Structure 1
Amino acid sequence: MEPADLLITQCRTYLNWNKCRLSVIAHLVLSLLQKQTVNFTHLATTFPGKSQTASCYRRIQRFFLEVVFEDAVTARMIAGLLAPEGKWQLSMDRTNWMFGIFKINILFLAINYKGMAIPILWTLLPKKGCSNTAERIELLKRFQKIFPEHAIQRLLMDREFKGKRWLKFLVHGSWPFCIRVPSNTLVPNNTKTGYYR
């Protein structure tokens, strides 16, 4: 069986789409792996068949104009295809960059697997700078709603993800977590000095 046919079969388990749309997403995934770019012009050159590159390009455009990706369905599909068995180790991070004059700022939750972080849920932040506690809590609650029974080994976070209310939510919500802290942070303990540094 061809790789595209295998992907179509797998995607059909999660997506209630017609064969044409399933074919497009399967070929897009394979094109992304081959070309290692999201540029539609480059991706269109890898589509099979006798269609010209311009026709394949318009096909990709129509796909993204017409298809709505529901986050719950997408998250289940990503997990079903890529996530490891057993407890998941998650990471929360934020990425931002410029796309022309547009500032893109994304808070995401990913499954860690074999040295990779596979994004499973994300929130586009309508602002510059760090996420706040409410945005982080909303992302974790979305995860819990989609995967209510799945066991979490731990949640990894960088120094950006701090704050008393946030850490309180993690502790009371039974989220095992590891967080990097700045080198000048004082942490109380039971030694004579009273602090870890």
Structure 2
Amino acid sequence: MGQTLSIAIDRTQWGKINILMVSLVWEKRAIPLSWSLLPKLGSSNITEQMNAIAEILPLLKDYQVVVLGDREFCRRRAG
């Protein structure tokens, strides 16, 4: 494995438009690699998140990848 790259996953909603985006973090900037319109309002689910990340991971197979996300992307444990 080579250089370490950071990717950020984020979701934003503008009125009735809900976008899930995966970006490459490079020199204090986020460069969009993939985005999709979600067919619903509100938070994304784990399946949508995994699909978004899985779409770009083959492009980064020669790198170690760190995935960054806010609390929407944390898996919660019961208890």
Q: Larger relative CO (CA 8 A, sep 6+): 1 or 2?
A: 2
- Quote the residue 2:64 is aligned against: 151
**For the residues of structure 1 that align with 2:60 and 2:52, how far apart are their CA atoms?**
12
- Quote the residue 1:129 is aligned against: 42
**For the residues of structure 2 that align with 1:104 and 1:151, how far apart are their CA atoms?**
32
- 1:120 lines up with 2:33 in the alignment: yes
Give me the TM-score of the superposition, normalised by structure 2: 0.80
Structure 2 unaligned residues grouped into runs of 5+: none
More strand by share: 2
**For the residues of structure 2 that align with 1:114 and 1:145, how far apart are their CA atoms?**
22
Structure 1 unaligned residues grouped into runs of 5+: 1-85, 166-197
**For the residues of structure 2 that align with 1:159 and 1:144, how far apart are their CA atoms?**
21
SS in 2 for 1:143: helix
Summarize the alignment of residues 31-180 of structure 1 with structure 2, pairs less than 5 Å apart.
86-98=3-15, 103-152=16-65, 154-164=66-76
**For the residues of structure 2 that align with 1:133 and 1:164, how far apart are their CA atoms?**
11
Runs of 4+ in 1 over 6 A off after TM superposition: none
**For the residues of structure 2 that align with 1:108 and 1:120, how far apart are their CA atoms?**
8
1:164: how far off? 4.8
**For the residues of structure 1 that align with 2:14 and 2:4, how far apart are their CA atoms?**
32
CA root-mean-square deviation: 1.8
More helix by share: 1
